[in-house]
A and B are shown apart, each in its own frame.
Chain A
Amino acid sequence: MMNNNMNSPEQISTNKLEYDVLVIGGGIAGQEASLNLANNGFKVLMVEKDLSIGGKMIHLSKVFPTLDCSACIATPKISETARNPNITIMTYSEVEDIKRNGNGLKAMVIEKPRYVKADLCTGCPICEEKCPVVVEDEYNYGLTGRKAAFIPFDLASPRIAAIDIENCTLCGACERACPPNAIDFSMEKKEFELSVKSVIIATGFELFPAEKKKEYGFGQFKNVIHSMQMDRLLAPTRPFNNVLRPSDGRMPDNIAYVLCTGSRDLSVGNPICSQICCMYSIKQAQLLLGALPMTDVTIYYIDIRAFGKGFDEFYEQGKSMGVEFIKGKIAKIEEKENGNLTLKYEDFENGGKTVEADHDLVVLSVGILPNKDVSGFFKSEPIALDIHQYVKQEDELMSPAKTSIEGVFVAGTSSGPMDIPDSILSAGAASAEAAAFIRSLK
């Protein structure tokens, strides 16, 4: 969906770049901030470390509480971003060493080689078909495989191939088959020196690694999956045609959700609430009841935090559809011989005694963690982080997008847990602050 003429990195010929604003991260917050600024007349460079912009939202199934199809909302925004003449996008690129430069800021941008010439690749799947190497597909969170020569995912932008050089055997099959001869193994990383007036950090979050909560057996028990995997199983671009449990490909009929996996939990070092897990779990439960009408879904929770606009109503809707809610903290999960799982939990509503329950699929509602990349951007002049390692909001109440560095603003989950509507709003705030800041320089 990218307009190669207008804003592909290949058009950047010089090693010195100059823009008004650097937006780091091409997820929904980065897109929103970039579009606001671009529509305001500012020249924006968006740097995305991944092969495609789109962030996490593009991979979700439907989104709460409206149950809109996530990709349906995300794709028009992505193409609007890609097409905007004031926005230049560098994918598969990373930012290093942002530092003060007079009134403005300087940074290094490193474009990693994708071994496919972006201006020649037409996004056809021929290299993918020819490639003999199969590895785990990170876009489906390990549920499926992909090739070493691959188009990241169907809705990718830019929709062009890349070679996963770490797994590539250099057999040359893709190179020989590519119709426009776009594959080039001699590509090297390129470095750019960037001057900007303002920076917006929109690097998003990381998922809590479910295997860190050892008691829950993720990675060890096949039928314990995490919630992002379930979202992929439910998405319109899903890898299989149905929700199947991994151990035997059978449709599950008694699914458990374990809320607060990796959140509100000092034992894993994350005492805060991730803000989104209650709602996405209720969403998935509703979708599951639609996809597998005979299935029971039980949500084990501490508190249901349905606080946003329309959220509590959505929670009530879940209850009325038959989702079972049990206030209980899961202490341990054990695997049975048939692959089913036994959950041991503290039953708060019955005097806190320990109870056991069997389920045939367990979804861990994993929380979110700060993206650790951020401190790496600021080696010379470190940026202040809060005690949880999120970007610190210097004036939390009245200027929530302000950071410790003048001219650097924060959008979306880089400053803390947030749902999609809040991320988009915070991106709007960051763009307003950046626009005002640039004006003040004149």
Chain B
Amino acid sequence: MKEKIGVYICHCGGNISDYVDVEKVRDVVEKEEGVVLSKTTMFACADSAQKEIVNDIKENNLDAIVVASCSPKLHLSTFRNVAERAGLNPYNYVQANIREQCSWAHTDKPKEATEKAIRIVRACVGRVRYSEALEPFTIPAANIALIIGAGVAGMRSAISLADMGTHVYLIEKSHFIGGRVAQMGELFSTDEKGEEIISDLYDEIKKRDKIQLFTGAEVVSVSGSVGDYKAQINIRPRYIVPDCDMNKLKEAIAECKTEIPDEFNFGLTQKKVIYKAYENCRPEIPAIEKDRFNPDQKFLEKYKDCIDLEQKTETLNVNTGTVILSTGFDPYEPEDGEYGYKKAENVITLQQLKRLIELSNGKLEYNNREIKNIVYVYCVGSRQKEGENKYCSRYCCTAAIHAALLCRKKFDSVRGFHLYRDIRTYGKHELLFDEVSRQGDIFFRFNEDESPVVETANGKLQVKFRDILTNNEEVAIEPDLVVLVTGMIPRKDSSTVAGILKTPVGSDKFFNEVHPKLRPVETVIDGMYICGTCQGPKNITESITSSLSAAAKSNSLINKGEIELEPTIIRIDPEACEWCDKCAEICPFDSITKTEYSPDGQKGKTIALVNESTCKGCGMCAPVCPTDAIDIIGYTNNEIESMIDGLIKEV
């Protein structure tokens, strides 16, 4: 209990004293228990007044102070610093707000305002008597980040973190890095090539000792909390002998006859079971799809220096301070028959078109037919009226228009007919829309209630629709190719990752940030971040922007090797606690678990245990405790109740 309290009542140059009789307040407060010094001051925040308070504290050995002035939002830290300069713990300071919540709100009633000010100051004196000296505490934090997913977002984040001094474990589920961008060929709006970007990023990663990259790697469990996560990672083998003779391996690939659909080309081509994602993929070492591989003994014997089917999955355990999720997206795969997909011939997706452009040379061909006319149907799998995907996939309008421009540039006279709902080439991408229109592509707008019909009629591919822009006339086009402009959906395995990391997903099934504006890359779990398209559709620039943002957040949290935390968290009274788990249940941060309590070696009891590194001191647990065993530090029963008493006591 504090017994040498100093109280200062500020005139605020009339802002308070014009309505509140500050001298009267002083006269009354002076008599309060514990008050040994009380003064009025013209401007408490003025430098001279601050110096006076420092001297008073030192000379009179004050053990607590109250300044009655403006809102604590303005000067709480000012006077906490004053206390600190005088050697007093800053938490033994209480600010009484007699301006915003008294003189200014009651300029019409000076007598009542004075009485109210007396009560406020008295309440704060009562509170400060019970104030405790508190020290901010720190928890150790490893300056290490685990990044899950080595697409452009994960790689760029890793490079940025390494450059800011953080050690990075970058893990990629596939045997090859690069994610979706590697598949995209030429990119809007810079016409850079996806593969080249990936190779460049890979080179940058290899240059940095601070980044350890693991491919074929999946996180299987994560425990711990911010600053000290423990992750278990399984690394699947490539079944290729490390540092083997590459020429011999090439021979083996040539000799191997087993082929499977090539996912990298979205099934447009076949690949060998011993494969590389693409010719210039990174890492350059091939991998084997073992489940689909049935070689004879002779083959295995011949290539035993290169191929080793006995390789086992390895487990890697890492400690990390933060976790960044950059698991990316899957392209929407239309249902069979959706706009003729897989039913009518020559109906492909936008992603397939991009591969087709890459695979074609001089002539755009599909199913042995030269493509001269393409119909693009927009919003396939996005903005669904009936289906689950209510959202807009953001990148596809621009991507489709850019693809149409590419077709015109690379292959002579390929015309595009675009069937859209709204063209969303936002921002500077508008120029691409202008350009493709100028070059002669034609845009039709269809109504969401009346989708175009794609079918094969009399052996010919046909698209029928009503064009809103020409009085809803029915139009039929017979193109060589229909491209379904498919959007983004969360990756198939993102729910598994969400299950392991306990990161929430939104109604669109993408990972959810805490708040789109205040904390756009943070999850509800401290030290876990999301970036890139696992959070929702984004173009490349936007993915990179968010990945750098996640790097900045991660780095500023852990780069000091420790995390400084506010001391105003909650405290469990072990004597009163009769573990019932109500507090654990209501805690929004999962900060309460249980522990055994045995103060004198006797048979103990179960009580609640607060994780000091994740408790935010919101106090939501305090009201639900049936035995009132929880105190919010800085807002204890004594502090609050002495305020209540002080506020109500007659003047």
* Chain A interfacial positions (CB closer than 8 Å to B): 1-6, 28, 36-37, 39-41, 63, 66, 68, 73, 77, 79, 83, 119-120, 122, 124, 126, 159, 178-180, 264, 271-275, 303-313, 316, 327, 348-352, 386, 388, 393, 396-401, 416-418, 420-422, 424-429, 431-433, 435-436, 439-440
Contacts and interface: CB of A to CB of B under 8 A. Distances in A.
Contacts of B78: 3-5
B270 interface: no
A37 to B, nearest CB: 8
Given A304-B422, A305-B426, A401-B545, 16 more contacts: A5-B78, A36-B552, A36-B553, A41-B560, A66-B516, A122-B43, A273-B427, A307-B424, A308-B536, A309-B535, A327-B445, A348-B469, A397-B540, A428-B546, A429-B546, A436-B163
Contact of A313 (B187, B391, B445, B469): B391
Contact of B425 (A41, A124, A273): A273
Give the most central of B42, B391, B537: most A CB within 10 Å.
B391
Contacts of A159: 74
Nearest to A2: B74
A227 to B, nearest CB: 17
Nearest to B473: A351
Contact of A428 (B163, B189, B548): B548
Contacts of B434: 271
A430 to B, nearest CB: 8
Contacts of B583: none
Interface string B59-84: 00000000000100111011001000
B170 interface: no
B201 A349 contact: no
13 contacts: A36-B552, A119-B47, A126-B15, A180-B42, A273-B429, A305-B422, A307-B394, A309-B508, A349-B468, A393-B541, A421-B516, A428-B550, A429-B544
Interface stretch (B517-525, B574-582, B606-614, B625-633): B517-525
Contact of B520 (A307, A399, A425): A425
B101 to A, nearest CB: 15
A439 B164 contact: yes
A264 B390 CA distance: 27
B271 to A, nearest CB: 28
B3 to A, nearest CB: 29
B383 interface: yes
Contacts of A312: 382-383, 390-392
A309 B164 CA distance: 29
A422 B78 CA distance: 34
Given A4-B78, A350-B471, A397-B192, A275 B427 contact: yes
Contacts of B43: 120, 122, 180
A180 B391 contact: no
Contact of B392 (A306, A427, A429): A306
Given A179-B13, A272-B430, A432 B164 contact: yes
A425 B521 contact: yes
Interface string B559-582: 110000000000000000000000
B28 interface: no
Interface residues of B, number: 81
Interface in B24-67: 42-43, 45-47, 50
Contacts of A422: 542, 545
A54 B32 CA distance: 42
Contacts of B510: 309
A1 B544 CA distance: 34
Given A77-B518, A388-B428, A308 B394 contact: yes
B170 to A, nearest CB: 16
B360 interface: no
Given A5-B81, A66-B516, A396 B541 contact: yes
Contact of A400 (B392, B425, B545): B545
Contacts of A327: 445, 468
B189 A432 contact: no
Given A36-B553, A428-B545, A124 B160 contact: no
A350 B73 CA distance: 57
B548 A401 contact: yes
Nearest to A426: B545
A264 B548 contact: no
A273 B15 contact: no
Contacts of B477: none
Nearest to A68: B517
Interface in B421-479: 422-431, 434, 445, 468-471
Contacts of A264: 430
Contact of A273 (B13, B164, B430): B430
A57 to B, nearest CB: 9
B152 to A, nearest CB: 7
Contact of A421 (B13, B431, B468, B517): B517
Nearest to B422: A303
Nearest to A64: B516
B324 interface: no
A236 B189 CA distance: 40
B469 A349 contact: yes
Contact of B73 (A36, A79, A122, A126): A79
A122 B545 contact: no
Nearest to A39: B556
Contacts of A124: 12-15
A4 B74 CA distance: 9
B337 interface: no
Contacts of B469: 348-349, 352
Contact of A309 (B200, B201, B382, B516): B516
Contacts of B12: 122, 124, 179
Given A40-B164, A313-B390, A398 B544 contact: yes
Nearest to A57: B517
A4 B535 CA distance: 40
